[in-house]
Amino acid sequence: MNIQQLKDTAAAMVAPGRGILAMDESHPTCNKRFEKLGIPTTEDKRKEYRSMLLKENDMGQYIGGAILFDETLRQTTLDGQPFAERLQQIGIVPGIKVDKGAKDLALHPGEKVTEGLDGLRERLAEYYQLGARFAKWRAVITIGADIPSQACLVANAHALARYAALCQAADIVPIVEPEVLMDGTHDIDRSYEVTHAIQKLVFEHLAEQGVELEGMVLKPNMVVSGYECSQRAGVQQVAEETVRCLMSTVPPSVPGIAFLSGGQTDEEATEHLNAMNQLGDELPWKLTFSYGRALQQAAMQSWNGDSGNIDRAARVILHRARMNGAAAEGKYTPEMEKAA
């Protein structure tokens, strides 16, 4: 393990005013989003779409790292350049999703555990050769009447820590993603309780497996009310509760925390991040974004599967990246949307 390299990679991923672009949708997830817009679910369309996302050279001003899916890391862009090379060219660290998805947790109806540890050592070695310098593993926690169970929290925390240790042994920075889903009728207090429980457990397991906190990035959910909650908390409360939770679970040696968007609207995700960075608290870590949908959805609609729309759609994602880059420094205002 080269700890200095891990630290340098993590620092580049969450550099000031920059965040992470999650463009690592598995085939089923990507197909679902394409089908909604009537876009053919072919390898060529995925390549065209993902080339569009990285077309603007200025993306590197706001994006420090981009998470790719296995297929994309092996593809070339429309210009014939390997995706990892294109990312390096515009100053973005290439990353790779390495988990094999959330599967049913045995004996625990309604709960998931993420699989993919078998053979991971060998896959990481190959991904490094292909240019990846960080990885992502997503654990999924569902809030319901009697869930999550302790069994689900422990199984996922353990797998995240085993994954993180394997990454660091391969000189790859692990993004550790314990995602508490935002679906449900629960209120913000319940979201806090579950988010706190999983984060606390994750750091216990990371310590047990010897993971160097200086060489990782945490990717958590924000503490929000469930989408079906009758009284949803506002932006300020979400910002305060999320930071309060992180302050009590995340050691200061972690260099960066990059949030998932989890189905929030584009502007909601930007406003929440901005509000956290405006709290005025002395925070020990960078607070930034690692959004999938909240960075991509407007651009995907603008492209709509038509190669004639590539230039316009590339400017749409550049705008979203710029807004979130500003939010990562607490400098976003809704007026900036209109000005564009």
Chain residues binding ligand 13P by CB under 6 A are 22, 138, 177, 260-262, 291-294
Distance of alpha carbon 92 from the chain centroid: 15
CB of 183 to ligand 13P, least distance (A): 12
Q: Residue 15 or residue 294: which is nearer to ligand 13P going by CB?
A: 294
CA–CA separation, 108 vs 171, rounded Å? 35
Catalytic residue among 112, 219, 241, 286: 219
Catalytic residue among 111, 177, 241, 271: 177
Long-range contacts at 165-169 (CB < 8 A, ≥ 24 apart): 165/209, 165/210, 165/211, 166/117, 166/120, 166/121, 166/124, 167/98, 167/124, 167/134, 167/135, 168/1, 168/6, 168/211, 168/212, 168/215, 168/216, 169/1, 169/121
Q: Residue 123 or residue 320: which is nearer to ligand 13P going by CB?
A: 320
User: Residue 253 is which amino acid?
Assistant: S
Q: Residue 60 or residue 292: which is nearer to ligand 13P going by CB?
A: 292
Known catalytic membership, residue 177: yes
Q: Residue 30 or residue 105: which is nearer to ligand 13P going by CB?
A: 30
Q: Residue 22 or residue 287: which is nearer to ligand 13P going by CB?
A: 22
CB of 88 to ligand 13P, least distance (A): 21
CA distances for 306 relative to 55, 296, 302, 303, angstroms: 15, 16, 9, 6
Known catalytic membership, residue 219: yes
Q: Residue 86 or residue 138: which is nearer to ligand 13P going by CB?
A: 138
Encode 320-331: b = buried (16+ Cβ within 10 Å), e = exposed.
bbbbbbbbbbee
In this structure, how many other beta carbons lie within 10 angstroms of the beta carbon of residue 283?
A: 16
Q: Are 223 and 245 in contact (CB under 8 A)?
A: yes
CA–CA separation, 280 vs 196, rounded Å? 22
- Per-residue H/E/C for 30-42: HHHHHHHCCCCCC
Which uninterrupted H or E stretch holds 217? strand 217-218
3-class SS at 287?
A: strand
CB of 129 to ligand 13P, least distance (A): 24
CB of 161 to ligand 13P, least distance (A): 18
CB of 260 to ligand 13P, least distance (A): 4
CB of 269 to ligand 13P, least distance (A): 7
Q: Residue 46 or residue 138: which is nearer to ligand 13P going by CB?
A: 138
CA–CA separation, 61 vs 11, rounded Å? 14
CB of 106 to ligand 13P, least distance (A): 23
Which uninterrupted H or E stretch holds 134? strand 134-141
First to last CA, the chain: 44
Residue nearest to ligand 13P (CB): 292
- Which residues have a catalytic role annotated? 177, 219
